[in-house]
Amino acid sequence: MSIFIKQIIINKMRHITTEDVAHYSKQYGFSISREQAQEISNYVRSKQINPFERREREKMLHDLSKITDRETAIKANKLFHELIKSYGLEHLFH
């Protein structure tokens, strides 16, 4: 079952749109511009990121801080961990 869940998450990442990023930023209290939302969605779709590996998540967050700013990247990381915990998916992430 965990392979199925992982595939759903990766599929969502590979198809995320600028509108998705803008929506989530508002929903979770992030302040980003439309251009930043577009850069983030382009980055996530174009990179072969494995969000289940700690090193790859750290690289992604480092790159995110270059697109937005350090504070936004820190908020995104905190949100990521809160979402993982709220869905009971901690066991999938190393």
pTM of the predicted protein model: 0.81
Please state, in angstroms and rounded to a whole number, the distance separating the CA atoms of residues 50 and 34.
Answer: 25
Give the C-alpha separation, 5 to 78, whole Å.
Answer: 21
pLDDT 10s per residue in the chain (94 long)?
Answer: 688 989 998 998 899 999 999 998 888 888 889 999 999 999 999 998 898 999 999 999 999 999 999 988 888 888 888 888 888 888 888 7
In the chain, the N- to C-terminal Cα span, in Å, equals 17
- Domain hosting 88: range is 2-92
Domain total for the chain? 1
- State how far the alpha carbon of 51 is from the alpha carbons of 31, 33, 91, in Å: 23, 24, 13
In 3-state terms, what secondary structure has residue 32? coil
